[in-house]
Amino acid sequence: MADWTRFFVLFGGLIMMVGLAFALRWTWGTGKELPGPRVIDPDDPTGDGLLEEVGRVPTEPAAQVLRNRLLANGIRATVGRREDGYGLLVFPADLVNAKLVLSRSALE
Protein backbone atom coordinates (compact mmCIF):
# COMPACT_ATOMS: atom_id res chain seq x y z
CA MET A 1 0.00 0.00 0.00
CA ALA A 2 2.86 2.39 0.77
CA ASP A 3 4.23 1.92 -2.76
CA TRP A 4 0.93 3.02 -4.27
CA THR A 5 0.81 6.06 -2.01
CA ARG A 6 4.26 7.18 -3.16
CA PHE A 7 3.25 6.56 -6.76
CA PHE A 8 0.08 8.68 -6.46
CA VAL A 9 1.90 11.47 -4.60
CA LEU A 10 4.68 11.61 -7.17
CA PHE A 11 2.55 11.46 -10.28
CA GLY A 12 -0.33 13.37 -8.72
CA GLY A 13 2.01 16.30 -8.09
CA LEU A 14 3.30 16.04 -11.65
CA ILE A 15 -0.22 15.96 -13.09
CA MET A 16 -1.18 18.93 -10.91
CA MET A 17 1.84 20.92 -12.19
CA VAL A 18 0.93 20.15 -15.82
CA GLY A 19 -2.69 21.14 -15.15
CA LEU A 20 -1.56 24.39 -13.56
CA ALA A 21 0.71 25.13 -16.54
CA PHE A 22 -2.20 24.60 -18.95
CA ALA A 23 -4.51 26.76 -16.83
CA LEU A 24 -1.97 29.60 -16.77
CA ARG A 25 -1.36 29.26 -20.50
CA TRP A 26 -5.09 29.38 -21.18
CA THR A 27 -5.58 32.38 -18.86
CA TRP A 28 -2.80 34.62 -20.12
CA GLY A 29 -1.84 32.96 -23.41
CA THR A 30 0.75 34.35 -25.78
CA GLY A 31 -1.06 37.53 -26.77
CA LYS A 32 -0.77 36.78 -30.48
CA GLU A 33 -4.31 38.07 -31.01
CA LEU A 34 -3.41 41.42 -29.46
CA PRO A 35 -2.25 44.21 -31.78
CA GLY A 36 1.50 44.73 -31.81
CA PRO A 37 3.33 48.00 -31.45
CA ARG A 38 2.79 50.51 -34.23
CA VAL A 39 5.57 50.29 -36.78
CA ILE A 40 6.58 53.66 -38.18
CA ASP A 41 6.42 53.80 -41.95
CA PRO A 42 9.57 55.51 -43.23
CA ASP A 43 7.78 56.45 -46.46
CA ASP A 44 4.94 58.23 -44.63
CA PRO A 45 5.31 61.95 -45.39
CA THR A 46 3.39 63.02 -42.29
CA GLY A 47 5.19 60.66 -39.88
CA ASP A 48 4.02 62.49 -36.75
CA GLY A 49 2.70 59.45 -34.90
CA LEU A 50 0.01 60.54 -32.44
CA LEU A 51 0.57 64.25 -33.02
CA GLU A 52 -1.39 66.47 -35.39
CA GLU A 53 -0.23 69.64 -37.02
CA VAL A 54 -2.02 72.75 -35.81
CA GLY A 55 -0.06 75.36 -37.72
CA ARG A 56 2.95 76.01 -39.93
CA VAL A 57 5.37 78.93 -39.95
CA PRO A 58 8.42 79.69 -42.12
CA THR A 59 11.07 80.16 -39.41
CA GLU A 60 12.12 78.29 -36.27
CA PRO A 61 12.05 81.35 -33.98
CA ALA A 62 8.44 82.03 -34.99
CA ALA A 63 7.57 78.39 -34.28
CA GLN A 64 9.22 78.58 -30.84
CA VAL A 65 7.25 81.74 -29.98
CA LEU A 66 3.97 80.04 -30.88
CA ARG A 67 4.99 76.86 -29.04
CA ASN A 68 5.74 78.89 -25.90
CA ARG A 69 2.33 80.55 -26.22
CA LEU A 70 0.67 77.13 -26.36
CA LEU A 71 2.69 75.90 -23.39
CA ALA A 72 1.70 79.00 -21.40
CA ASN A 73 -1.93 78.03 -21.98
CA GLY A 74 -1.40 74.47 -20.76
CA ILE A 75 -1.22 72.81 -24.18
CA ARG A 76 1.65 70.40 -24.79
CA ALA A 77 3.24 71.20 -28.14
CA THR A 78 6.37 70.55 -30.11
CA VAL A 79 7.96 71.87 -33.28
CA GLY A 80 8.62 69.64 -36.28
CA ARG A 81 10.80 70.47 -39.28
CA ARG A 82 8.98 70.47 -42.63
CA GLU A 83 10.15 70.99 -46.20
CA ASP A 84 8.53 74.41 -46.35
CA GLY A 85 9.03 75.58 -42.76
CA TYR A 86 8.24 74.42 -39.23
CA GLY A 87 5.04 72.77 -38.03
CA LEU A 88 3.47 73.04 -34.59
CA LEU A 89 2.38 69.62 -33.38
CA VAL A 90 -0.13 68.84 -30.61
CA PHE A 91 -2.07 65.83 -29.41
CA PRO A 92 -5.52 65.32 -31.01
CA ALA A 93 -7.30 66.09 -27.71
CA ASP A 94 -5.63 69.52 -27.62
CA LEU A 95 -6.16 70.39 -31.29
CA VAL A 96 -9.26 72.59 -30.90
CA ASN A 97 -7.86 74.49 -27.92
CA ALA A 98 -4.54 74.99 -29.70
CA LYS A 99 -6.31 76.45 -32.73
CA LEU A 100 -8.22 78.82 -30.45
CA VAL A 101 -5.03 79.97 -28.70
CA LEU A 102 -3.24 80.49 -31.99
CA SER A 103 -6.18 82.36 -33.53
CA ARG A 104 -6.34 84.66 -30.48
CA SER A 105 -2.61 85.33 -30.79
CA ALA A 106 -3.03 86.26 -34.46
CA LEU A 107 -5.65 88.88 -33.55
CA GLU A 108 -3.49 90.53 -30.90
Quick check: 25 pLDDT over 90?
no
User: When comparing pLDDT for 73 and 4, which is higher?
Assistant: 73
**DSSP character string of the chain:** -HHHHHHHHHHHHHHHHHHHHHHHHHHH---TTS--PPPPPTT-SS--TT-EEEEEESSHHHHHHHHHHHHHTT--EEEEEETTEEEEEE-GGGHHHHHHHHHHHHH-
pLDDT of residue 36: 63
d(CA 89, CA 95): 9
pLDDT of residue 96: 93
pLDDT of residue 97: 93
The CATH number of 52-107 is 3.30.70.1530
Q: What is the pLDDT of residues 77-106, one digit of tens each?
A: 999 888 889 999 999 999 999 999 998 866
User: When comparing pLDDT for 9 and 16, which is higher?
Assistant: 16
pLDDT of residue 4: 74
pLDDT of residue 3: 72
